[in-house]
Structure 1
Amino acid sequence: MTRTPSHDGAPRDIEALIEIMARLPGLGPRSARRAVLHLIDRRGTLMAPLAATMAKVAETARACFNCGNISTADLCPICADEARAQGQICVVEDVADLWAMERGGAFAGRYHVLGGTLSALDDIGPEDLHIPRLVDRIAGEHVREVILALNATVDGQTTAHYIADALEGTGVSVTSLAQGVPIGGELDYLDDGTISAALKARKAL
């Protein structure tokens, strides 16, 4: 049976793939269409391995139950590494920020992914973030310092101050990234050197 083509000439199955690709960050309909055509042209060397890898990741990927990093096991490699139990936890907004910090190679402790920031506009309160889990980790992992590596946005800084207040009285030192992170900047878009400089120049809150 001949498949009915879509409105732009592509078969419906391919058009469905284009529509899914267009939902990805940074891709619109035109970019998605070019990407799909590129994949089809290289289906043996690129599309088939990509499909197999995506299916495997879809089955095995999960959030680390300790820090929230993406892993293929209950405990991510960073949390499982005893050498990184140095009494420091770096708090980040999302997994992309954690990976950005790791690329810089300047931090040898562990992480905590909040899963977002406080936002009155988006109705995101403390109960929607992983702040209670962070408080639980303070005693359990003998934490000495919590580094707040949150984006330099209004919501990011509001969240940082909320966490600093929540940890007051726990005895841990609460610091934040300092110079090198511009106002309005997001960690995932900064170069490794900038992140490293900001980490080394962190300040107390």
Structure 2
Amino acid sequence: MQLPSKLIQDAVEEMAKLPGIGKKTALRLVLHLLNSDKEQTTMLSNALVQMRENVKYCKKCHNVSDEEICNICSSNNRDKSTICVVESIKDVLAIENTAHYRGEYHVLGGIISPLEGIGPSDLSIDLLIERVSQHDSEVKEVILALSPTMEGDTTAFYISKKLKSCDIKLSTIARGVPIGGEIEYTDEVTLGRSIMTRTLFS
């Protein structure tokens, strides 16, 4: 795609580097910004620079925050005895949107994946272990809310081994047939897990 302006070309190239954004969508967005008020484009660019320079990672749970400690960890309305371990910030947002969980979180920043060169030391696992094993820790349960993949299971197994000596309850999120799903279209592994981890009908 050759454009008459190198400045627009450069902007499109950078925009197209974003996930889910192809060259055509990038061009549409760039032209929209070009045709908008200059103030709108300036506000967008300033917001992006401010975000990149000033957003921090919570020292306690590794979630994104504007302060040293995020608003979830600093809230008095959260259950300090429960920590939900997740892979990424997107998982925190997804769980928060359910409005069914009132504990705290711990964001690993990824999962163990030897093929991608990601080991335990590349994640915030040590911070989690330190958080749970402190003598003044209020934590009574750690929920492993990791994706049901080989890498997710490997990470969960590694964390469970590390937490073995801690006097806490270790649980994992339920896996089974989704609401609205049909049995005949459910894969064998999911269906098998659903049968094995069945609950009482009420």
Normalised-by-shorter TM-score class: 0.7 to 0.9
Which of 48, 66, 73 is the matching residue for 2:42? 48
Cα distance, 1:151–1:38 mapped onto 2, change above 3 Å? same
- The separation in 2 between residues aligned to 1:133 and 1:127, in whole angstroms, is 10
Task: Say whether residues 1:64 and 2:58 are aligned partners.
Answer: yes
Please give the secondary structure, in 2, of the residue aligned with 1:98: helix
- Counterpart of 2:73 in structure 1 is 79
Q: Is the 8 A contact 1:152 1:181 kept in 2?
A: no
Unmatched 5+ stretches in structure 2: 179-196
What per-residue deviation string (whole Å, max 9, x for no partner) do you get for residues 164-201 of structure 1? Answer: 1111120111111113587xxxxxxxxxxxxxxxxxx9
**Residue 170 of structure 1 aligns to which amino acid in structure 2?**
C
Cα RMSD, aligned residues only: 2.1
Which of 160, 164, 171 is the matching residue for 2:160? 164
What per-residue deviation string (whole Å, max 9, x for no partner) do you get for residues 112-147 of structure 1? Answer: 011111111012111111111101111343210101
**Residue 99 of structure 1 aligns to which amino acid in structure 2?**
L
Give the aligned length.
178
- Counterpart of 1:153 in structure 2 is 149
- The separation in 2 between residues aligned to 1:160 and 1:30, in whole angstroms, is 40
TM-score, structure 1 as length reference: 0.79
Please give the secondary structure, in 2, of the residue aligned with 1:90: strand
- Counterpart of 1:26 in structure 2 is 20
TM-score, structure 2 as length reference: 0.80
- The separation in 2 between residues aligned to 1:65 and 1:121, in whole angstroms, is 29
Percent sequence identity is 38
Q: Is the 8 A contact 1:93 1:117 kept in 2?
A: yes
Cα distance, 1:150–1:43 mapped onto 2, change above 3 Å? farther
- The separation in 1 between residues aligned to 2:51 and 2:83, in whole angstroms, is 27
Which of 120, 126, 129 is the matching residue for 1:132? 126
- The separation in 2 between residues aligned to 1:134 and 1:29, in whole angstroms, is 41
Q: Which one has a bigger Cα radius of gyration?
A: 2
- The separation in 2 between residues aligned to 1:43 and 1:63, in whole angstroms, is 33
Please give the secondary structure, in 2, of the residue aligned with 1:83: coil
- The separation in 1 between residues aligned to 2:167 and 2:44, in whole angstroms, is 48
Cα distance, 1:117–1:9 mapped onto 2, change above 3 Å? same
Please give the secondary structure, in 2, of the residue aligned with 1:8: coil
Please give the secondary structure, in 1, of the residue aligned with 2:106: strand
Q: Which gives a bigger RCO, structure 1 or 2 (Cα 8 Å, sep 6+)?
A: 1
What per-residue deviation string (whole Å, max 9, x for no partner) do you get for residues 75-126 of structure 1? Answer: 1101111221430000010111111111111111111011111111012111
Cα distance, 1:181–1:108 mapped onto 2, change above 3 Å? farther
